[in-house]
Amino acid sequence: MIFEELKRDTVYQGRAFGVQLVRMRLPGDRLRDYDLVRHNPSVTVVPLDDKGRLLFVRQFRLGAGGDLLELPAGVMETGEEPLDCAAREIREETGFSAGKLELLGDFFLAPGYCDEHMYVFLATGLLPDPLEQDEDEFLEIEAIPAAEALKLARENHIQDSKTLASLLLALPWLNQSRG
């Protein structure tokens, strides 16, 4: 099948994302307009301490209308590499730095309407090393044993998609830390 982009116009540009109207030619020569949310790439960090616990953050999320339990995550600054972003975000959100950051995988968050691409890192060798949090972040840190975190995910107590996908990617390491 051949899809051809014909035109792209920015209709909104905010601090966190932009929206473009994209005119596409579809198979059968049909035309269709799509809304595309433009968003910088991002990272999620799976911080695993030496006691086999994961460090989560609990924070208010407007789209969910309340608090969510999430793994630390953040948006890459323009020109920033995923590894550098992961190293910064874990320090900002948990107050720990990682002795080792290992890329576990990457994925698109909502490719039907958004181009945000997320990289997932396992963080081990955690040491206290805080950075100041962003001014709009009000985070509570929760250290949860890996087995309990996976149970929370299975029982629908974790409803953040990036956290669920990241836990899946980290499963081999989490199972090792439990054994």
pLDDT at 121: 98
Q: Do 34 and 46 lie in a common domain?
A: no
Q: Do 172 and 128 lie in a common domain?
A: yes
pLDDT at 178: 60
Q: Is 135 a catalytic residue?
A: yes
Of 103 and 131, the structure prediction assigns the larger pLDDT to: 103
Q: Which of 9-13, 94-98, 108-112, 127-131 has the lowest mean pLDDT?
A: 127-131
pLDDT at residue 93 greater than cutoff 90: yes
Q: How far apart are CA 110 and CA 117, in angstroms?
A: 9
pLDDT at 176: 81
Q: Do 50 and 134 lie in a common domain?
A: yes
Contact by Cβ (8 Å): 69, 155: no
Structure-derived torsion over alpha carbons of residues 138, 139, 140, 141, reported in degrees to the nearest 10: -160
pLDDT at residue 101 greater than cutoff 90: yes
Question: Which residue range(s) make up the domain with 32?
Answer: 4-38
| Number of structural domains found in the chain | 2
Q: Do 55 and 84 lie in a common domain?
A: yes
**95-133 as b/e, with b when 16 or more CB fall inside 10 Å?**
bbbbeebeebebbebeeeebbbbbbbbbbbebeeeeeee
pTM: 0.93
pLDDT at residue 33 greater than cutoff 80: yes
Q: How far apart are CA 146 and CA 49, in angstroms?
A: 10
Percentage above 90 pLDDT, the chain: 89
In the structure, what pLDDT confidence band is assigned to residue 175 with cuts at 50, 70 and 90?
confident
Q: Which of 89, 135, 140, 142 is catalytic?
A: 135
Q: Do 26 and 102 lie in a common domain?
A: no
